[in-house]
Amino acid sequence: MKIGIYQGPPTGGDAEAGLARIRQQLDAAARAGARMVTFPELYLPGYNQPALHLGQSQPRGGDWCNRLAEMARASGCGLTIGWAERDGDAVYNAATAFGPDGAVLAHYRKVQLFGPMEKASFAFGDAYSLFEFDGRTCALMICYDVEFSHHLQALARKGVDLVLVPTANPAGFENVSRLTVPAQAYTHAVTIAYANYCGTEGDLLFGGHSLVAAPDGSVLAAAHTTETLIVTDIAHDADPALLSTQLADYREIPE
């Protein structure tokens, strides 16, 4: 199966421009054979936009969701994307996966909020979100979530083998792409698609370096620090003898 990652600049709070870019990139990925493309965290209305998180957040099934579903259906390519979700008085840092037919496959709310801005803007998520897609058991995570090994372990125990991760990782934290994501993929024998921003948003510079890491920890495809659409086949012939067996071998130590 081929999947895509879009690494691009933030929308700057311009949701219409963001939606137009999503359509363009989805169409390009579909032409390259991608079945699913992952976009960055809070792509709508923007990550470093705390004033807009409250003011522009939308409910599930609202205008953004309807238009994203239509884009996925029109392109014939699935779409995973981060956005600001309104649910009553609460706002969540959320991600939704749409199938190539436009149907909602999964919806997820970020569990591990990072830093003062996120914790001031959003309520905490409290559940994993799994779905079946093209013969794989998939899950959604968002940025900081994927750095917590116990979350990956919980997903691996549920049979997940592909994790899609919209992210907004700042410059200076390139070790997450370079070290943490491949290590998590190897430790838990999963494929991880990690889609970051590049460029700046207000006073925040993003680090880029989006990537797809295989279950043996190898990097199947990676971006640098400029706008990039990656499409790569995640069918990977890793030597089974070299894959991690930690899931089967793990032992609890009584306290």
Q: Where are the beta strands (DSSP E) in the chain?
A: 2-7, 36-38, 78-87, 90-98, 104-109, 130-133, 136-140, 162-166, 191-195, 200-201, 204-205, 211-213, 219-222, 228-233
pLDDT tier, 123 (very low <50, low <70, confident <90, very high otherwise): very high
Catalytic positions: 41, 110, 143
Average of per-residue pLDDT values in the chain: 96
Residue 233, phi then psi, degrees to nearest 5: -85, 125
Average pLDDT, integer, range 77-83: 98
pLDDT the model gives residue 247 = 85
Is residue 58 predicted with pLDDT exceeding 90? yes
pLDDT the model gives residue 245 = 87
CA 108 to chain centre: 10
Q: How far apart are CA 153 and CA 160, in angstroms?
A: 10
Average pLDDT, integer, range 42-46: 97
Is residue 68 predicted with pLDDT exceeding 80? yes
Q: How far apart are CA 42 and CA 28, in angstroms?
A: 22
Residues 10, 46 contacting (CB under 8 angstroms): yes
Q: How far apart are CA 125 and CA 201, in angstroms?
A: 25
DSSP state of 60: T
The rounded percent of the chain whose pLDDT value lies above 70 is 100
pLDDT in tens, 203-213: 999 999 999 99
pLDDT in tens, 230-245: 999 998 777 787 788 8
Q: Is domain 2-243 in CATH 3.60.110.10, yes or no?
A: yes
pLDDT tier, 217 (very low <50, low <70, confident <90, very high otherwise): very high
pLDDT the model gives residue 251 = 84
Tell me how long the chain is.
255
Is residue 250 predicted with pLDDT exceeding 90? no
pLDDT the model gives residue 142 = 98
Average pLDDT, integer, range 72-100: 98
pLDDT the model gives residue 137 = 98
Q: How far apart are CA 102 and CA 77, in angstroms?
A: 9
pLDDT the model gives residue 255 = 83
pLDDT in tens, 135-168: 999 999 999 999 999 999 999 999 999 999 999 9
pLDDT the model gives residue 249 = 85
pLDDT the model gives residue 67 = 98
